[in-house]
Amino acid sequence: MVPPPNHQATQQFLSSVLSQRGPSALPYTEDTKWLIRQHLLSLIAAYPSLESKTATFTHNDGRSVNLLQADGTIPMPFQGVTYNIPIIIWLMESYPRHPPCVYVNPTRDMIIKRPHPYVNPSGLVSVPYLHNWIYPSSNLVDLVRELSPIFGRDPPLYSQPCANPNPSPSHSSPNYAANPSNLSHSSSFASVGPTGGHVGYPRPMNRPYPPSPYVGSSGGAPGRPQTEDAAEVYKRNAINKIVETVHGDIMQLRKAREVEMEGLFSAQAALRTREEEINKGLKEMQEEKEGLEAQLQVVLMNTDVLEAWVRENDGKMKVNKGNLDVDSVLECIDSLSKQMLDCTSTDLAIEDVVYSLDKAVQEGAVPFDQYLRNVRLLSREQFFHRATAAKVRAGQMQAQVASMAARAPHYAS
């Protein structure tokens, strides 16, 4: 997938491919996608000759994955002339926490210089900036800025002689090694200008570059033998495998800890609910305790009164030794009680007399006018006795409250 060349279309392209979900999603972590987008936009803004794309990358172990890449050319100043070096910058799955993979991408008429201190025969670039990559300060713009002067001091590509349009590495390499003067005057970027006989990659390029032969990190250029050490490849694969395993273990541990934290949060919420219920129950028990203490005070006061009455009457029984007068069994404790007893007994007696008069009138034993006169007199007397009983009852209530108030400090202590 290749986006349009303008900057706005590049922004839309990156936003689209980085927001995809499901099987077609790019293998970058969600917390780094925004930084990846900013790195590519800054790189294309600084070097418009580069384009952001998505392509299939094949690892050394045969795995294929769809990754982002920056494909195009970067400027290379060499002896006063600026040339364009074709490169591909692959953003690996662990980018930007780990450096990208950079390849020089020679066309059919270009050959990789052998040996080169920073480019191996398969085109893989290895410069100090990649080895010293620091997340999150390292970025693609600074990487390309370091590549340009390094390639300017020692160009990694040179053009093949026109006499042999399809030279093999066995023909071109010996020519390069055996005839350095020919390299410096005819096949190197240093000796030829934009109008020289063996044109390298002068700026600007008027024709598009062919597809890169470096699809994977283990793929070499067509026609060139693979010279990478097998031990180094095995070591690199082992390190990558260990890193992936550790990363997977960390993700599993993180998920387990998140589940454990969720359980702890749920337990904490349950404990808080129980704490509220316990506090509520404790408050209710405290109120119930206070009510029971108040009731206990009343019971103690009543017990004291009853015990005093029992002691007093027990003494009377010992004095009389069983010879008790029925009328003197109950005695009033004070004058108010005696007055209340008199009023109540008189009231009930008048009630009985009126009932008897009703019976006598019905039987004809008492004349009706005499019945009315007697009922009027008895009712008047009964009214006065009932009014007196009400006043006496109010006085008794006041006396009882005063007595309880006087005894309360004694029981509280």
pLDDT of 147 above 60: yes
Contact present, 147 and 128 (Cβ < 8 Å): no
How would you label 362-379 residue by residue, b for 16+ Cβ within 10 Å and e otherwise? Answer: eeeebeeeebeeebeebe
pLDDT of 121 above 80: yes
Read off the pLDDT of each residue in 147-161 and give the average, rounded to a whole number: 84
Q: What is the pLDDT of residue 82?
A: 86
pLDDT of 328 above 70: no
Q: CA 184 to CA 199: how far, in whole Å?
A: 13
Q: Tell me: the pLDDT tens digits for 163-202?
A: 544 444 433 333 333 333 333 333 333 333 333 333 333 3
Least confident segment among 124-133, 157-166, 377-386: 157-166
pTM of the predicted protein model? 0.41
| Residue with tokens 């390094």, as numbered in its chain | 150
pLDDT of 44 above 50: yes
Q: What is the pLDDT of residue 399?
A: 84
Q: Tell me: the pLDDT tens digits for 246-298?
A: 988 999 999 999 899 989 999 999 999 999 999 999 999 999 999 999 999 99
Q: What is the pLDDT of residue 320?
A: 64
Cis-peptide into 96, omega within 30 deg: yes
* pLDDT bracket for residue 356 (50, 70, 90): very high
Q: What is the pLDDT of residue 219?
A: 38
The residues, ordered by sequence, that sit 6+ positions from 92 with a Cβ below 8 Å of its Cβ are 57, 67, 98, 100, 101
Q: What is the pLDDT of residue 114?
A: 83
Per the prediction, the chain carries an average pLDDT of 78
Q: What is the pLDDT of residue 140?
A: 93
Q: CA 362 to CA 238: how far, in whole Å?
A: 128
> What are the φ and ψ backbone dihedral angles of 84, each rounded to 5 degrees?
-110, 120
**Which is it for the CA torsion 212, 216, 220, 222, positive or negative?**
negative
Q: Please spell the DSSP secondary structure of 28-54, one letter per residue.
A: --GGGHHHHHHHHHHHHHH-TTEEEEE
Which residue has better confidence, 85 or 321? 85
**Which is it for the CA torsion 184, 185, 187, 191, positive or negative?**
positive
Cis-peptide into 136, omega within 30 deg: yes
Q: What is the pLDDT of residue 115?
A: 85
Share of the chain above pLDDT 90, in %: 34
Q: What is the pLDDT of residue 208?
A: 36
